[in-house]
Structure 1
């Protein structure tokens, strides 16, 4: 093979085609596993296409039938049958066809890699594109290469039904993570891989507090990997909320650096416990995009460190590399992309979202999923929508002071409900409500 030729193996191509004319099983395997692109020599591509036509018409594949098919394709031009017979003679055993098939797959992969590499080089020279656009296009190029031999993932119902019943009967723990709030977990059961969970609230209502609390539950209590992407708060702001939550010290005193000795002792104790929590990753890059988040998750998957859950705080601060006609279209594209990321990487993604001023226009101030700001397809893409409401945010003297409603306004897999929890903002904490003492009413 000369230096300017792409990787190929003519003998393996002839062996594949010869095996197809020797054995019906080999012919079927060839048509199922390969395409004409797997053959480097143009004449072999035409022979393979003729073999595929015969297999699809249930006609026996043998030198004479292939000869006739080739002559039809060549508008009556006579084909030398000796070439086909020589292919058969090059095969030591039709049982080796699997080896030849794998060989051709490998060589096509390498040819595509070289050709797509040239496209990557041209892409790198496109100074008119910003880096996120280049990253996204480069990912598509690599996906085309690595997806050449992606098998059909569809399965008939007949193959699915009984394994599903087996899973129902099994006592094995289902995939997914709990949220850490008993009543919410009773309703949702678990946040499952592939789900997009939207936490919507007006500013200052506790959206970030809820997401940090949930991340700590998964990372510290469940001991699973967590990726927390914050486009709003810095690392120090997130850490202050983590320390306040874990050590039960007031966020104000922590930020003002006015902790007494007892508080410092609790902080140091909790800090020592969290010092080895390298499975909780915090990314406060304010320029995080879908492309960079995908790259982060891809790197984690290659390293065998894919998180059990991903948090994004919050959606409206994300930007899209593609300029849309309006912000609503851009947010809709981001929400759809987050849902696809959840499915592609098989992880639940929890994303915070601001609400518009709709709740403030109502007498009871309670939000609905229609209040999702610049929602577009956000409501449609979400599997679960949790809206936050605190009466004391509007009426400080409310009899429900210190309570927060977790309004599950959409639940694709089950019922909706309102869960009431205790809001301890000074500790950056949301806790289960304490049960009322017997006889308190």
Structure 2
């Protein structure tokens, strides 16, 4: 039986509150999630041709202050007030001429400015001699120059923001027409860079300092070191010899840890992250392209609790071991370690994620496991592995410099080390080593005697026992310090590296 017509009309329409014709229309879905009172996307695009923000009065006030007090004001504005900050062409032209006068050490006054503009046939462009005279008397005193300049810079930044957004909108529409695979990540990263460039342009004043300022800062840092002897300048690694050689992990540095497979480079890097985050209470980010986050956390728990992974997998833990595991769990739950286990992560996407983590959680160190598994989506890198590795290495170094934090990067060594007597690795053993060597600030080559050197002869049980667990981190490159060997001992059942003296004998089993 067909439903009556009245059942198709909402109650409000049937009661006369709404016209039945409008009430019967289905609700329109809103794909943009627009809140009540906000303009729609169509309305925003319709108003895209609105006038850009500017303040002619503030621009004239700045020029008036510069004309009245050129010696004091122009030296400052030359550094932190760009010509493009003036919206009106006339104001921009006058400011450009004032900077030329300042650079050439020419006296600045309304008469000189008027004559030069007349000689260059530019006087009519700025409004004639009367405009120059009016500018000189536009403000009674240059005392509020900084306030006027801030208004001009704020308007300039708003225009930059609008420009960056316009480019992002245009490139997003154009990308839809091209349909190029693999470039969406690049598009998003470029859009994010444009927005960050606008934000960072607000803090570029006074970057250039005199030598006396740098000397004062250097003396302050030396004084601090004298007052705090033995204190590191960077993040402690938990290994005293490595801390001594590196003075701690420094901001903007790229620390490459390279080894052959199964040498324990992931364990060593996670020992560093554990010490920095758990023991020193610093936030850390881990990009694990080889191992899942669950496995990484399991290894962290085993290493922290000094347990055997095999016993844990079999569920054979004593009461004391369970208590140690519970304590390790509590320690790790308090730590700020953010793990991203996305496989095949693009270096641009990694950079964007690192920016967000730095902004939201103020991470102090990043670990990447490992470099050869990172990808690059640029067209140049698709057909050339050397170019791809170079772009990835440069991108990781760029992350360290941009965020001013150390980045620990794991890398693979090639097979050449296995054919060398003693199997001691060198820098050239790095796969695609040219770009990695160039970008890295420190390179540590990890090796273990019980893996390297080949098989023991029959009857060499004593020598085999001596080598059991002995490891070495060869600091082959250290841009800001000496190079040397860092002796370590590997506790294989707990996947943990600890310090040892060079002549230390292994513990008895």
Give the alignment of 1:5-404 within 5 angstroms.
5-24=51-70, 25-74=72-121, 80-125=128-173, 126-127=175-176, 128-129=179-180, 130-148=183-201, 150-151=204-205, 153-170=207-224, 171-172=227-228, 173-277=231-335, 279-303=336-360, 305-323=361-379, 324=381, 325-393=383-451, 394-395=454-455, 398=464, 399-404=466-471
Change (3 A) 1:414 1:35: closer
CA deviation after TM superposition for structure 1 residue 143, in Å:
4.2
CA deviation after TM superposition for structure 1 residue 256, in Å:
4.0
Match in the other structure for 2:31: none
Verify the 8 A CA contact 2:286 2:338 in the aligned structure 1. Answer: yes
CA deviation after TM superposition for structure 1 residue 197, in Å:
0.7
Verify the 8 A CA contact 1:243 1:270 in the aligned structure 2. Answer: yes
The gaps in structure 2 that reach 5 residues or longer are 1-47
1:104-130 alpha-carbon deviations (Å, 9 max, x no partner): 111011112112211000122213352
1:151-181 alpha-carbon deviations (Å, 9 max, x no partner): 3634343332343133223224443112112
CA deviation after TM superposition for structure 1 residue 90, in Å:
2.3
CA deviation after TM superposition for structure 1 residue 403, in Å:
0.8
Verify the 8 A CA contact 1:331 1:376 in the aligned structure 2. Answer: no
3-state SS, counterpart of residue 330 of structure 1: helix
Over aligned residues, Cα RMSD in angstroms? 2.4
Change (3 A) 1:183 1:15: closer
Distance 2:504 2:123 in 1: 91
CA deviation after TM superposition for structure 1 residue 389, in Å:
1.1
Change (3 A) 1:51 1:273: closer
Distance 2:473 2:344 in 1: 29
Change (3 A) 1:111 1:189: closer
**TM-score, normalised to structure 1's length?**
0.91
How many residues were matched structurally? 434
Structure with more relative contact order (C-alpha pairs < 8 Å, separation 6 or more): 1
Distance 1:29 1:268 in 2: 60
The gaps in structure 1 that reach 5 residues or longer are none
Verify the 8 A CA contact 1:21 1:27 in the aligned structure 2. Answer: no
Higher deviation after alignment, 290-299 or 202-211: 290-299
CA deviation after TM superposition for structure 1 residue 372, in Å:
0.5
CA deviation after TM superposition for structure 1 residue 272, in Å:
2.6
Verify the 8 A CA contact 1:198 1:385 in the aligned structure 2. Answer: yes
Distance 1:267 1:225 in 2: 22
Distance 1:400 1:329 in 2: 40
CA deviation after TM superposition for structure 1 residue 148, in Å:
4.2
Distance 1:32 1:407 in 2: 46
Change (3 A) 1:75 1:300: closer
Verify the 8 A CA contact 2:234 2:247 in the aligned structure 1. Answer: no
3-state SS, counterpart of residue 321 of structure 2: helix
3-state SS, counterpart of residue 364 of structure 1: helix
Verify the 8 A CA contact 1:355 1:372 in the aligned structure 2. Answer: yes
Higher deviation after alignment, 252-261 or 223-232: 252-261
1:421 matches 2:484 = no
Verify the 8 A CA contact 1:407 1:417 in the aligned structure 2. Answer: yes
Distance 1:75 1:123 in 2: 37
Verify the 8 A CA contact 1:226 1:309 in the aligned structure 2. Answer: yes
1:406 matches 2:473 = yes
CA deviation after TM superposition for structure 1 residue 199, in Å:
0.4
